[in-house]
Amino acid sequence: MNKPFSILAPGEARCPGDSVQDVLDADGDNPPPVYRRQAYQYLGSDDLPFERYTSKAFFDREMERMWPRVWQWACREEHIPEVGDYYVYDVGLHSLIVMRTAPDTIKAYYNACLHRGTKLKPSGSAGSSLSISCPFHGWTWNLSGELTRLLCEWDFPHVNKEEFNLPEARVGVWGGFVFVNMDENAMPLEEYLAPLPEDARRAAFEDRYVSLHVEKELPCNWKVAQEAFLEAYHLLATHPQLLPASGDINTQYDILGQHVDRLYNLVGSPSPLLEREVSQQEILDSMVLGDREQLGGALRVPDGGRARAIMAQYFRDLVGEQCGRDLSDFSVAEVIDTLGYFAFPNAHFFLAISFPIVYRFRPLGTDHTRTLFDLLLLSPVPKDGVRPDPYEPVRVKIEESYGIVPGIDPSMAVIYDQDTGNMGWQQEGFGAAKKKRATLGNYQEVRIRHMHQTLDKYLAD
């Protein structure tokens, strides 16, 4: 029985009704221990000043002290499959040329000329070249970063070409993602991401390809944008259509490391806030996973059956057929639940094999009130083993709907549009507020607090 609130320590209270773990018990199919882990920590209750989202000085401090010292995923390996392929990764004023310089080597060069500083490749660009040439006076480096062309060398007797290699940032690869870090002394990527690589082993991100890629412009600070995806507390007010088939206030939150936390949101299980009984068939009909047209209302829950099990079997068959694998040993939870990992400062990885998405949130240019949100759907490489080309990103402007993106599930587009509305209103509210601080829930909003506490560590050092 739940203890009365008055005798609970801060952060101990949980919503009444079924927890994530109760629902896993009812599934009765033994999901891996990763799904059974519970690792919430109480991190305090202090208010969070809005200045963190509204101050250009704060943003500049992030640019100077945080972004150059953290691991960020820049692109997928499949974006640069051949030697010479490059992808320019930008965050604020920082810019790196992420380049495949040998079949099994990827380097990240600072995107600025050693002569007079000109940007070597345009921001946001990608392409292929066997050298890097400055557009201004033509200084040129080979793929290994060595200066091979210096026009009028006679005028630069003070330049020792051996000392004019293009400076590099560090590169790490996990799950098919290419990560970069501008800090030479940063901890190794695997350590930084722990325990994500091990926890996500069965989701096999490396065996996937980008089947959808949205670049959405958002009217808010980059932290506002991603915080909208760090909690499920907003589902009742923002996405009421999800209530029959999605957990919300019973979502589980875990702090897993300095840089990593997660949320476990149930799919195919009604919200504890729903004030009526729902049948298992209604739950199944309300589930927002993939193409409902394709399902055609054909899925039925037999007497005594569970919507979660039916939906999971549907996706085991569908995804198994696509990738030519037997997925019968995947538990219901692994197939359908939203187990979302966050890797500081801006990456979100969702493990469900039915809906493997990843997010990334970056400042849009150097404007502290604008964000670029990358939303990628990662589908399994087809059973013929031929990796399709990655989906060409579709840019969606602030005022445009996600619905314009070819191939996006219409019900998903509605959900993301609902989130976008909040973001602009929240950023505007910071300005209108008399109380200039956010007050967070101890449990459901702990990941927001965790993110800010980690950010503070970088800003303070």
Q: How many CB atoms lie within 10 A of CB 67?
A: 19
Tokens of 362: 């970056």
Number of residues near ligand FES (by CB under 6 A):
9
Residue closer to Fe ion by CB (options 246, 354) is 246
Q: Provide the β-strand partners of residue 179.
A: 73, 172
Question: What is the longest distance spanned by two Cα atoms in the chain?
Answer: 87
Closest distance to ligand FES from the beta carbon of 151 (Å): 8
Q: CA-CA distances (angstroms) from residue 122 to 67, 96, 322?
A: 20, 10, 37
- Among 366, 459, 426, 404, which Cα is nearest to 62's? 459
Is 149 one of the binding residues for ligand FES (CB under 6 A)? no
* DSSP H stretches of helix in 255-331: 280-286, 292-295, 307-323
H or E element in which residue 193 lies? helix 189-193
Is 419 one of the binding residues for Fe ion (CB under 5 A)? yes
Closest distance to Fe ion from the beta carbon of 418 (Å): 6
49 phi and psi angles, rounded to 5 deg:
-65, 135
Closest distance to ligand FES from the beta carbon of 161 (Å): 14
Judged by beta carbon distances under 5 to 8 A according to partner kind, the member of Fe ion, ligand FES, none in contact with residue 419 is Fe ion
Closest distance to ligand FES from the beta carbon of 242 (Å): 52
Residue closer to ligand FES by CB (options 139, 222) is 139
- Among 215, 211, 213, which Cα is nearest to 379's? 211
Closest distance to ligand FES from the beta carbon of 115 (Å): 3
Q: Binding residue for ligand FES (CB under 6 A) from 134, 225, 381, 438? A: 134
Is 139 one of the binding residues for ligand FES (CB under 6 A)? yes
Looking at 77-85, 133-141, 382-390, 396-404, which segment touches ligand FES (CB under 6 A)? 133-141
The owner of tokens 């002290």 is: 65
Q: DSSP letter string over 317-369?
A: HHHHHHHT---TTS-HHHHH-EEEEEETTTEEEE--TTS-EEEEEEEETTEEE
Residue closer to ligand FES by CB (options 122, 421) is 122
Q: Binding residue for ligand FES (CB under 6 A) from 39, 136, 397, 457? A: 136
Restricted to residues 91-130, the positions that interact with ligand FES (CB under 6 A) are 113, 115-116, 118
Closest distance to ligand FES from the beta carbon of 206 (Å): 37
Closest distance to Fe ion from the beta carbon of 205 (Å): 23
Judged by beta carbon distances under 5 to 8 A according to partner kind, the member of Fe ion, ligand FES, none in contact with residue 165 is none
- Among 357, 345, 266, which Cα is nearest to 306's? 266
Note the residues at the interface with Fe ion (CB under 5 A).
419
Note the residues at the interface with ligand FES (CB under 6 A).
113, 115-116, 118, 134, 136-139
